[in-house]
């Protein structure tokens, strides 16, 4: 038995394994706390709570568990997203007294060929532990416990004790120069797992790099998470970035459109691709237009993306319960009728010819994953408006893929 295993499996050595899933968009905080004494299971606590309004006994329940590992040499092992939020709500300043090991980032760093944002499923596969099906955001995963013992075994094989293992996990972050950033490591853990665009800026405020992601939290971990192996690109961005601006959107399509616009507007120093090459001939849309129905960053709204004939793309933000009928008919007359140019409103964004190309490509690749409706050029505006209205009201914010059809 290794030194680390002897420490772990000694009576009176407590480990609290805390799995957390924070879903800020649905205002849900879920966690599972499992307490071990000398490696033996002692007790477990599972809760689902409103993120901003937990029940009065919420903090008390978790404190009862955390107090078992508050004093050294005991250890709090965490995994998932949102555990810092949870500990701050329940413990406040006491959080700094804990010896905390981030299971996911430590396991990835020990493996050497995984990045800090590796999922629990990927980590379980790398360590050849249980192949139980795991949701990427799940707080309740039976594989987490097996992964903990596997990490202890791997670290013990290096002749480490718990001080060595905790120091190794801490040093995995050492390459990130947070002291020169306007943000810190904690603020990056609060980034939503939602689509959006990020702008990295220099100390002078100039745009360094513009990018998009369907999951901003994961992308920030790519750049600034604790990984021992960092690509040249990421290292350059780490060293030159001073501030990070995030813009949340409702879908990957909207992120693509906004990213392209910001690259053309800001002229970032490190973006290698700054133009959208025309390729409309590849897209079968010369005699039709299309509208994609997508979620919005505002849960009470939906985003409609019109594109195709006459070669441009326009986004319209709507409320399902009160659609702007006049704006909708104006856009339909433009995309499926004779109108030369639609009158702009505050709810519209004109993405131009580049936007049309981006929408065409996105629709061609992912139409089986989207909600969309064809807008034939020979159909009346009234019929099209009725069809779009019905589609918006039927499609929920997180809708299943649907190809809507015009009435016979």
* Residue 39 CB burial class (10 angstroms; 0-12, 13-18, ≥19): middle
CA angle (56 as vertex; 53, 62 as ends), nearest 5:
95
Per-residue pLDDT tens for 45-98? 887 766 555 556 767 888 888 888 988 899 999 987 777 767 877 777 778 888
Residue 320 phi, psi (nearest 5): -55, -35
Q: How many CB atoms lie within 10 A of CB 60?
A: 10
Give pLDDT tens digits for 321-379: 999 998 898 899 898 877 777 777 888 999 999 999 999 999 988 889 899 999 988 88
**Three-state DSSP state, 308:** strand
272, part of any domain: no
131 and 217 part of one domain: no
**pLDDT for residue 343:** 78
Query: Could you tell me which of 263, 304, 21, 273 has the C-alpha nearest to residue 139?
Result: 21
Q: Pick the last residue of a domain from 234, 266, 298.
A: 266
> String of b and e for 276-289 (b: at least 16 CB within 10 Å)?
beeeeeebebeebb
- Residue 13 and residue 144 in one domain: yes
- The answer to whether residue 274 sits within a structural domain is no
Establish if 271 belongs to a structural domain. no
Find the CATH number of the domain harbouring 185: 3.40.1440.10
Judge if 34 and 164 occupy the same domain.
yes
Q: What are phi and psi of 57, to 5 degrees?
A: -90, 5
Residue 293 has a pLDDT of 96
Count of CB atoms within 10 A of residue 4's CB? 23
Whether residue 97 lies inside any domain: the answer is yes
- Residue 275 covered by a domain: no
Do 261 and 328 share a structural domain? no
For residue 366, give both structure tokens: 């992912």
Number of domains in the chain: 3
Q: What is the pLDDT of residues 213-230, one digit of tens each?
A: 998 987 887 777 655 445
Q: Is the pLDDT of residue 320 over 50?
A: yes
Same domain, 29 and 166: yes
**Same structural domain for residues 233 and 133?**
no
Tokens of 337: 């009728």
pLDDT for 14-27, tens place per residue?
Answer: 999 998 876 655 66
Q: Are residues 79 and 100 in the same domain?
A: yes
- Give me the mean pLDDT over the 205-209 stretch: 93
Are 317 and 227 contained in the same domain? no
The DSSP bridge pattern shows strands 402-404 and 371-376 to be parallel
Domain boundary among the residues 171, 194, 209 is at: 171
Are 355 and 252 in the same domain?
A: no
Decide if 210 contacts 199 (C-beta within 8 A). Answer: yes
**For 157-186, how does the pLDDT look when each residue is reduced to its tens digit (9 = 90+)?**
999 999 989 888 766 655 566 777 887 766
pLDDT interval class at 294 (50, 70, 90): very high
Among residues 119, 137, 171, the one where a domain terminates is 171
Residues 20 and 154 in one domain: yes
Looking at the structure, tell me whether residues 327 and 345 fall in a common domain.
yes
Give me the domain span that covers residue 257: 178-266
Please give the distance of CA 212 from its chain centroid, rounded to a whole number: 11
Residue corresponding to tokens 């750049």: 223
What mean pLDDT is reported for the chain? Answer: 83
C-alpha to C-alpha distance for 391 and 373, rounded to whole angstroms: 8
- Residues 213 and 246 placed together within one structural domain of the fold: yes
Sheet containing 100-102: order of strands: 40-50, 28-37, 14-23, 75-81, 100-102
Q: Kindly write down the DSSP assignment for every residue of 296-307, as one continuous string.
A: -SSTT-EEEEEE
Whichever domain contains 109, its CATH number is: 3.30.420
Residue 375 lies in a domain: yes
Going by DSSP bridges, is the β-strand pair 28-37/14-23 parallel, antiparallel, or unpaired? antiparallel
Domain annotation covers residue 273: no
Split at pLDDT 50, 70, 90, the class of 135 is: very low
Whole-number pLDDT of residue 283: 55
- Judge whether 148 lies within some domain: yes
């Amino acid at each position: 038995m290794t030194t680390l295993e002897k420490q772990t499996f000694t009576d009176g050595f407590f480990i609290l394994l805390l799995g957390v899933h924070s879903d800020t968009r649905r205002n849900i905080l879920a966690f599972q706390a499992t307490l071990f004494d000398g490696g033996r299971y002692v007790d477990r606590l599972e809760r689902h709570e409103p993120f901003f309004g937990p029940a009065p006994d919420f903090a008390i329940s978790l404190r009862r568990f955390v107090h078992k590992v508050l004093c050294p040499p005991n250890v709090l092992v965490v995994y998932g997203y949102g555990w810092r939020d949870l500990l701050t709500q329940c413990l406040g300043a006491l959080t700094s007294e804990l010896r905390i090991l981030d299971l996911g980032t430590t396991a990835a760093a020990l493996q050497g060929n995984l990045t800090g944002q590796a999922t629990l499923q990927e980590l379980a596969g790398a360590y050849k532990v249980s192949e139980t099906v795991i949701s990427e955001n799940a707080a309740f995963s039976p594989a987490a416990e097996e992964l903990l013992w596997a990490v202890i075994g791997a670290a013990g094989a290096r002749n480490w004790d718990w001080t060595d293992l905790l120091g190794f996990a801490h040093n995995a972050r050492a390459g990130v120069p947070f002291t020169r950033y306007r943000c810190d490591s904690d603020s990056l853990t609060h980034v939503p797992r939602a689509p959006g665009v990020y702008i990295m800026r220099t100390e002078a405020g100039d745009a360094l790099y513009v990018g998009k992601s369907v999951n901003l939290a994961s992308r920030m971990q790519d750049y600034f998470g604790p990984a021992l192996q960092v690509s040249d690109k990421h290292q350059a961005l780490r060293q030159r970035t001073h501030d990070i601006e995030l813009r949340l959107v409702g879908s990957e399509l909207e992120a693509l459109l906004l990213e392209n616009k910001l690259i053309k507007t800001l002229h970032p120093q490190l973006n290698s691709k700054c133009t959208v090459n025309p390729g409309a001939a590849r897209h079968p849309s010369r005699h039709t237009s299309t509208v994609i129905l997508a979620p919005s960053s505002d849960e009470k709204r939906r985003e409609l993306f019109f594109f195709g004939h006459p070669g441009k793309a326009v986004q319209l933000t709507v409320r399902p319960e009160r659609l702007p009928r006049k704006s909708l008919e104006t856009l339909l007359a433009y995309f499926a009728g004779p109108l030369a140019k639609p009158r702009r409103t505050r709810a519209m964004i004109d993405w131009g010819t580049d936007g049309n190309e981006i929408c065409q490509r996105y629709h061609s690749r992912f139409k089986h994953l989207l909600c969309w409706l064809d807008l034939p050029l020979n159909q009346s505006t009234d019929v099209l408006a009725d069809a779009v209205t019905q589609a918006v009201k039927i499609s929920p914010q997180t809708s299943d893929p649907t190809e809507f059809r015009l009435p016979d």
